[in-house]
Structure 1
């Protein structure tokens, strides 16, 4: 059960999100671009509350740490949100409890300056952007949607060249703001060191790829062959992509998961690193024999497509046998017909049972109590105890005693 502080935090997030409605929700989407999956950001009817919930579930804010939200208020100057932060911080300080050390503030210089510049964009600027970037003026009716589209397609980021090109389309006031960005905070490769809030944050998919660009035909062939190879591993991939693809569990087959990635530009013929990282995280390198384009999976490059937390859940699934999965399912009151293997069980625990709501500490203890130390060990070394994978709104079921 959530304690009073968690309940107060949930209510605070709901009110904070409601302070960013209409065009202000687009502001929030822009400022949280580095914190939320592209699949969620791309939803047309996304709300501020939904955005904040995902940031919370990824562990970047919690009931003792709201510096990111304070920074958003500083940038947007939304008075209602400012009042909410001040009121919540005052009540939180009154508890006089030891709080978690604050995360590093992480709205980058690039994003702050670009936000300020976008507030100055004129109608004439929009027409120039439509023409220069060959954009659909009917589908992209405002500057925030235009910039989201450009960033999603990697046509705008924190590289000096792309910012200069974008700024050249703007009026003198907006252009001057971007020209005043401290160049030492920018890069030549689009990897601003301030763009991540912590080492646990999910790295944005779709970053520049070192892999060979594929023709459209070869790319489709790669996806088709890869999907067939993983057809019996759909539950494993649902778990792997669960914080990248919205409602991943509802996708019926692997091809559908890949299409969702492609629709959000997380998987393209020029950048298919997410598939290479998929092979490495799932330890299924046998696919390389059938799909030569994935040969880079045999290299030791850094995995950037999935968070350490997601990788830990995958490690847990690899060592959890069918019989052990039944023991865990019984412990958490999961009926046998609610899962078919260890992967679907972990998905169920992550979402429906809220087992990971307060981090992995409790489940590690539970696994040790039923002599599954080898499974518990997979959640110890890299999992951030402050990370949240499920909303505290979902009540945790009462556990049964071991048979």
Structure 2
């Protein structure tokens, strides 16, 4: 067995509540493994320089005591900037000093130490200084961020190879044999000769297969097997819930082949295309988490128990792979009943196409550009005409101005109700004059707003803002300054519709039915 195979695996059973670190769950890609990234983010440790040096000494003694120097040379290969240091190091401290000098390790960023413990499985390490113990609680729960997936696989490979395996590979790659001391010396040498190279690992894996080194093959390919297992499980789940139509709507922007989108009968057809296009991979499965979030299929759990923790707390993840427009179309499909579908079918088709469900309707209207992200107003008006208030709200919810949202749920709901009763456009814009100095920008603004021309106008220092003004659409030259609105305050149009919302709320409280247009 290679020199550091026997890692300390003592369990730290303290509850998460005992953590002194702050935590947040978020989606991150690409990830280092097939996983949804769950991060317990370590707050910057407040340790002194003396405590920092003491910590480096303690962890170095721990790893040296477990004969890990060769393994660490493999692990730190991408980070140690000096090749001679990497080659000649006899103690972990030699490597840590280089990591410190290169900025990969510091008193305020100890993450490479946490990652080292996680990758090497040396969970038994505890600093001698009791003040530092809290920094290493539940370290196995921290996400590995400093080492690539490839680098982690090589450490797994080194742990998996026994000395007979090393001799077998020595004979495969060297004549005469080099008589490697352990698996780590083999890996370091094969990396130096670029036999092991991240961009072309398949030939090396094939050599392992021919040598029947199954544990070594598993170390380098396990996550790919888990990835295909995951795709199979999630496909079965969505197919069992008859979601293929919904997924065609959801993946419309991501599936690169129109025929695949049209002809797909199973979820796996779509996932295979996402994989080919690069939207889905073992190192970036985030589109699967987003799919669960958008489609609300929170009951999914992989059959492989090792993968189940990756799908906990799915609702905590920010959706990043689908546009707001795409998410709204999925919500629309969920909101429309079959009677609603028939109503819209009659509006857009003579004779009706008799859509089987809302997803067929949406896909067809998208294909015909009736539903378009850049021009949804006409479709929304059709929804209003059909009195499909839930569908209307899906597309108008985000149109509520921040000024209204800030006034609370009552103002928000009043604005939505007012929108349903009618609206009219507000023609307003910002006008910016840009140009070299002394060409007359200030004088032009003053002329347009009816102010007196000053032939001795001074140079504007930096940027100047003017008051708002109105322009009659009938008389283009009739541009009038609005002196009653101070700079930086809301323009009259905003004040008008905010007053309308307030009036609507007041009327609702008094039980008065009145039409308020915004």
Q: What band does the TM-score fall into relative to the shorter chain?
A: 0.3 to 0.5
Structure 2 length-normalised TM: 0.31
Larger Cα-atom Rg:
2
Structure 1 length-normalised TM: 0.40
